[in-house]
Amino acid sequence: MTHPTDHFKATLQTAVSDLLRLKQDLLLALKNEGFETCEWQREDNERNTWRSSCGELWSFVEGGPIENRVVFCQYCGKGLELLDAESSREDDK
């Protein structure tokens, strides 16, 4: 027998994945209109470190850019674009 919260957790995970895809689609559309973004890619899973396209490294004590609601690069100020965002979330599990 499944616990009632199992369905809620699965629904929430699906919603988060859908939102991430929508955010990436929106960023791509904005980028095509001239909106500048700073691309972040996970550098080190153990240290939870991310490398930005502006040349900086960022580390988080808990979670990543999504969980910490990072919207702009703290160094260059451009809109944040995560490369392989979904695979990065899977690594956190």
Residue 16 pLDDT greater than 50, yes or no:
yes
Give the pLDDT confidence of 26-74 residue by residue, as tens digits: 877 877 888 888 999 999 988 899 999 999 999 999 888 888 888 889 9
pLDDT band at residue 89 using 50, 70 and 90 as cut-offs: very low
**Which residues are registered as beta bridge partners of 40?**
52, 82
pTM given for the model:
0.61
> Which residues have C-beta within 8 Å of that of residue 10, sequence separation ≥ 6?
none
pLDDT band at residue 90 using 50, 70 and 90 as cut-offs: very low
Concatenated DSSP letters of 21-88: HHHHHHHHHHHHTT--EEEEEEEETTTTEEEETTS-EEE-SSS-TTTTT--B-TTT-PEEEETTHHHH
